[in-house]
A and B are shown apart, each in its own frame.
Chain A
């Protein structure tokens, strides 16, 4: 009898305790189909020029109207140039896409629109948070896989395709099946010169680019708690590179402090009410996850990728591997192909690899903290003679302004870097910022795929401080030696 009661009590406790994912999910379910496919209500819809035109056109062709335009925050970022704004957009195909966005938003409306050249224009995943348009507990969608970035605010943030963009415009809902949950716990404290980017790359190195497929990742542990919101955004941004469509961090004082006073953050009594709710956006202590991965922050050193997938990564003290190090034939073949593409010889120490270009920017690493970290390394130094171009592209007009207020632009310019206008730029090279075939780039972006930064270009992913260090040295170098 006594045992039965205990068992029942335990069962009840298990039902009661929820992960943050459960809470975010359950609070947005409008309807569930028999097979578990749910209609999730969408609070925030971020829109940019590349993945939206076909969705707006689809809506028009079907004679439908957007459900709630006040959920929309739009900007132009992927295609915009980062120099000579006075000339406008010279590429006629890009210009048409941006003009199409302007026309669509003019027609339907939005909560906020930061068009090309607006002082608050920027990368969609930078402008949402900095304007307080990304708030804890929201579902956030955008036709861009790095929407996971917004999970830093305890949001359920999904990258979606264009059909889904149209679906959200028309219905304010997204059809989704619940994912499994993965807790990534990073305990301990990272050493000086080791950043959120290194945590993200070390994780991907450990679990692989498909390690998180089918999971929603919650990032936790002391090393995550110690990160600023900028750092958390970097980690959540890279969740997709680990295969997870969503990644998030629970609300704490850091979250709340960041949001206070932002343009779209709640004010007055509503702020207090919102904060009280936001504080519930944590996993319950005894919540169960489907899987747990643990990393020791003290073991993480600055990371650099050597191949054409973010999982092809090693510490700065490492070497380029050889295909024969891998037993799985598909993997071995993949490594051989990657090394051929990257123009690398097995067993080359990472620190001996020279770079031609450096890119500091992207939705992963273009926020003020990233620019400060890079500037700290660049200050009083100069880029190496073999570095043809070192670009610093702030994530938004506001980030750019703040960096200039702090004098960071002068630091970069004095060190030989170029200081550009905000946008996605050389992360995906849709504009003129790109690599030429065979050029090697130290990049703070998120993908080192073949051709990503320009056809034939060779990308090595790393943190802003490490990128700045590579620019100064002309090859990869341990930034901890420069601090």
Chain B
């Protein structure tokens, strides 16, 4: 997994609540058996004027000029500013894959759907929950300040504005440690291999019907 320590980047505001995973990466792209290459189809239905299908040359498709991610001033953005319940819907990890492949390193929102939130940590894309008042201010600042950038400081658990204002955020200690080190969950879990085997052996005796 990609490490996350500190990231400074351009911010793009996506000012709508309940952005679901079908919107982030439509179903036709889930037929891929790969983990990469979803970026060009992130937000496909909002981003392009035509209907997208796998295998199309996305560079030739007409973009929707009204969609915020297409606006010139936000090109190269790596921090996504979002509203409540971001990532609701399906468990498709293709959604965080698409956002990461697009170039995002962090998402700031009022709240996230549980599964999406969890999936982000698995790939080193940092979802950050911020208070609504702070987000409202960030939406205003981003929209009114061309080239608005933020710094996300994971060790200090702060989002730092260019004016020096720092907004604290919470993150589970275990997840933080994994992100800071880029650790692979599976490798970590397998340190407890003996414990898992002992648990399983006990379970096999106590609830044999689970082991047909």
Contact = CB atoms under 8 A, between A and B. Distances in A.
Interface of A: 30-31, 33-37, 39, 41, 43, 50-51, 53-54, 57-58, 62, 64, 67-68, 70, 78-79, 91, 93-94, 96-97, 100, 111, 135, 137-138, 143-145, 147, 159-164, 166-167, 170-173, 175, 177, 209-210, 213-214, 240, 243-245, 264-266, 270-271, 273-274, 277, 309, 330-331, 333-334, 337, 428-430, 437, 447, 449-452, 455
Given A171-B189, A330-B17, A334-B18, A162 B93 contact: yes
A90 B5 CA distance: 46
B174 A35 contact: yes
B56 interface: no
A447 B15 CA distance: 21
Interface stretch (B70-78, B143-151, B199-207): B199-207
16 contacts: A30-B195, A41-B199, A43-B210, A53-B33, A161-B91, A162-B93, A164-B122, A170-B189, A173-B196, A177-B172, A210-B84, A330-B15, A333-B15, A450-B20, A451-B26, A455-B26
Interface residues of B, number: 61
B18 A450 contact: no
Interface of B: 15-18, 20, 22-23, 26-28, 30-35, 45, 51, 54-55, 83-85, 88-94, 96, 111-115, 118-119, 122-123, 172-175, 185-186, 189-190, 192-193, 195-196, 199-200, 203, 207-212
A31 B194 CA distance: 11
B26 A171 contact: no
A145 B207 contact: no
Contacts of A452: 22, 27
Nearest to A58: B35
Q: What 10 A-B pairs have minimum CB-CB distances, sorted nearest first?
A: A161-B93, A266-B209, A161-B119, A163-B122, A53-B33, A35-B173, A210-B85, A159-B91, A145-B91, A37-B174
Given A145-B91, A334-B17, A430-B31, A447 B22 contact: yes
Contact of B123 (A34, A163, A245): A163
Contacts of A78: 30
B56 to A, nearest CB: 12
Contacts of A429: 27
A242 B60 CA distance: 39
A171 B91 contact: no
A159 B192 CA distance: 23
Given A39-B196, A170-B190, 14 more contacts: A37-B172, A39-B195, A64-B186, A137-B207, A159-B90, A163-B185, A164-B119, A166-B186, A171-B193, A210-B85, A428-B90, A437-B51, A450-B45, A451-B26
B186 A145 contact: no
A36 B175 CA distance: 11
A243 B88 contact: yes
Contacts of A164: 118-119, 122
Contacts of B28: 430
- Chain B interface, >50% SS class: helix
Interface hub of B35, B45, B83, B93 (most chain A Cβ within 10 A) = B93
A34 B173 contact: yes
A80 B34 CA distance: 19
A30 B199 contact: yes
B122 A213 contact: no
A375 B88 CA distance: 33
A437 B50 CA distance: 11
A145 B30 CA distance: 15
A417 B30 CA distance: 29
A144 B193 CA distance: 26
Nearest to A211: B85
Contacts of B173: 33-35
A334 to B, nearest CB: 5
Contacts of A214: 114
A30 B200 CA distance: 9
A132 B25 CA distance: 34
Given A30-B192, A175-B189, A451-B26, A97 B92 contact: no
Interface hub of B26, B118, B209 (most chain A Cβ within 10 A) = B209
Contacts of A67: 196
A96 B88 contact: no
Given A41-B203, A210-B111, A449-B89, A330 B33 contact: no
B179 to A, nearest CB: 13
Nearest to A337: B16
A70 B32 CA distance: 27
Contact of A70 (B15, B23, B185, B211): B211
Contact of B33 (A43, A97, A333): A97
B16 A333 contact: yes
Contacts of A94: 31
A138 B210 contact: yes
Contacts of B193: 171
Contact of B209 (A35, A135, A213, A337): A135
Contact of A309 (B18, B55, B200, B208): B18
A363 to B, nearest CB: 12
A316 B207 CA distance: 47
A167 B27 contact: no
B33 A270 contact: no
B199 to A, nearest CB: 5
A214 B73 CA distance: 36
A258 to B, nearest CB: 15
Contacts of A70: 211-212
Contacts of B123: 163
